[in-house]
Amino acid sequence: MKDFHLPWLELAILFCLVGGAWVGRLRNPHVARRWALLFSGLALVATTGAWLDFDYLDAQQADDTFHLLSHLAGRELLVMDELSAPLLPLAALLFFLVPLATLQTKVRRFSFAWNLVSEALILALFSCQEQWGIIVFLAVGTIPPYLELRERGKPTHVYIIHMALFILLLVVGWTFAEIEGGSGRVHSLWVIIPLLGAILVRSGIAPFHCWMTDLFEHASFGTALLFVMPISGAYAAVRLVLPIAPDWVLSSIGLASLFTAVYASGMALVQTEARRFFCYLFLSHSALVLVGLEVGPVNPLALTGALCVWLSVGMALGGFGLTLRALEARRGRLSLTHFHGLYEHTPELAICFLLTGLASVGFPGTVGFVGTELLIDGAVEAYPYIGVAVVIAGALNGVALIKTYFILFTGTRYTSAVSLRIRTRERFAVLLLASLILIGGIYPQPGVHSRNEAAKALLKTREALAPSPTFPSPHHVEEHHTPEHGG
């Protein structure tokens, strides 16, 4: 393990925590947003610096140079590796763009202080490889959305039940894993079942997906978007389950995720409200990431594709969500039962809607194309039926996307007394993500290489924890019993 030239990870988290404490004291929401953008921008610079420094060091892992947290905790908590290197700046970018694109009329409804706290927890989660640290960050990260729901007077019981179940299963599963000790992947059902259930709940895998639709229904769009978009459930699966889980557990996750991907894509096709449409679209794509994790040990190409899709979903659906949020800020909750005809008023948002949406379904020339192709190719080589189901899910998502585009932007003429054109902050946010989507599609080699190295490291960790064979191999027995020939 090598040291960064600067304590990038600690600085990024510190900026967010200090910013959250400072912004929380401010009563003017417009002033609060300016300070929040400053602190989240500093965190974005720090995470980007960590990524560039990591690439310069050419190391498998790197940690902060001063080791401040290691002196306090007795161990190194914040570590960057191939998996987390691009996830950290991507998460910081999303947490920067959401408050940036918040309209003046909506700043009172969005908590900038809790947004910074949530960002600190996500950055700490993606920087952590210690199992109990991951569990703590995941558990504490569920608090800010609950506080917002309670402050807005919205029902919280669905969210509380699912998040409490998720935390309980994580704690129970890993407690038994430590009790059983270092036995590789030979663990009892007391470990496997709780961890499996926790991943399914947090990832919104059917039938545990209702908390996510409930969150999008009752929380602010920005809070719901930032809570689900980093796909924390996949990170928990990679760090806690993939290294120790037997093959049948990965198959269970894969089959449930495959069903969810197809089911959610079908549900996206028939939704009558834009938020629920986006929620099901996201569920379908995030489930595909877990499908790739299941196929990965059989075909590493699928695992590489899944990790690429993870990044492309963050960029593409992040921009797609920002576009829907901007439309909602102008028109209120968007119904999909009638045409809106908004293209003449907001052509830039229409273009960004189509570009980011098509990127999410793997349209050629966008960042999602290569990852989707790798995932499908790897899945078909391993299990042909999985590849067919992935194609069906992608096709349904594409149809749902085009249908929603026509409903929102065409079909009628809409007359408005005020201008609905995109503002400068919104234009910067969506165009920045659109640029990253196109650059990643035109020049995908660095991203694919990085995800391939991350996939190799994950499979190496899994192989290292494989139990040693109890009996000699057949080849060894054959050599022992076969008489020598000659002399």
> So what's the pLDDT on residue 261?
93
pLDDT tens track for 381-400: 878 888 888 899 999 999 99
> So what's the pLDDT on residue 115?
94
pLDDT tens track for 318-377: 999 999 998 888 888 899 999 988 888 888 889 999 999 999 998 998 988 998 988 888
Determine the Cα–Cα distance for residues 48 and 86; give it in Å rounded to an integer. 8
Q: What are phi and psi of 128, to 5 degrees?
A: -110, 135
> So what's the pLDDT on residue 87?
94
> So what's the pLDDT on residue 346?
86
> So what's the pLDDT on residue 66?
72
**Is the pLDDT at 220 greater than 80, yes or no?**
yes
> So what's the pLDDT on residue 70?
65
How confident is the model over 401-422, as a mean pLDDT?
A: 81
The fraction of the chain above a pLDDT of 90, given in percent, is 54
Q: Which helix (H) or strand (E) holds 3?
A: strand 2-3
Determine the Cα–Cα distance for residues 376 and 386; give it in Å rounded to an integer. 8
- Residue 349 CA neighbour count, 13 Å, CB half: 28
Tell me which of 9-23, 129-143, 233-247, 391-405 is least confident: 233-247
pLDDT tens track for 425-454: 888 888 888 889 999 999 989 889 999 999
**Is the pLDDT at 179 greater than 90, yes or no?**
no
Spatial contact of 432 and 97, defined as CB atoms under 8 Å apart: yes
Determine the Cα–Cα distance for residues 456 and 454; give it in Å rounded to an integer. 5
First to last CA, the chain: 53
Q: Which one is predicted more confidently, 461 or 40?
A: 40
> So what's the pLDDT on residue 275?
94
Which one, of 465, 258, 283, 452, lies nearest residue 250 by Cα? 258
How confident is the model over 202-231, as a mean pLDDT?
A: 93
Q: What does pLDDT average to over the chain?
A: 87
Q: What are phi and psi of 249, to 5 degrees?
A: -70, -45
The fraction of the chain above a pLDDT of 70, given in percent, is 91
> So what's the pLDDT on residue 249?
84
Q: How far is CA 315 from CA 87, 318, 356, in A?
A: 11, 5, 8
- Residue 59 CA neighbour count, 13 Å, CB half: 19
> So what's the pLDDT on residue 486?
42
Q: How confident is the model at residue 268 (pLDDT cuts 50, 70, 90)?
A: very high
**Is the pLDDT at 72 greater than 70, yes or no?**
no
Q: Which one is predicted more confidently, 485 or 442?
A: 442
Q: Which one is predicted more confidently, 477 or 39?
A: 39
> So what's the pLDDT on residue 67?
67
How confident is the model over 406-424, as a mean pLDDT?
A: 78
> So what's the pLDDT on residue 426?
83
**Is the pLDDT at 253 greater than 90, yes or no?**
no
pLDDT tens track for 133-169: 999 999 999 999 999 999 999 999 999 999 999 999 9
Q: What are phi and psi of 2, to 5 degrees?
A: -110, 165
Buried b (16+ CB within 10 A) or exposed e, 375-389: bbebbbebbeebbeb
How confident is the model over 267-278, as a mean pLDDT?
A: 94
Q: How confident is the model at residue 229 (pLDDT cuts 50, 70, 90)?
A: very high
Determine the Cα–Cα distance for residues 356 and 323; give it in Å rounded to an integer. 9
Tell me which of 93-102, 176-185, 316-325, 474-483 is least confident: 474-483
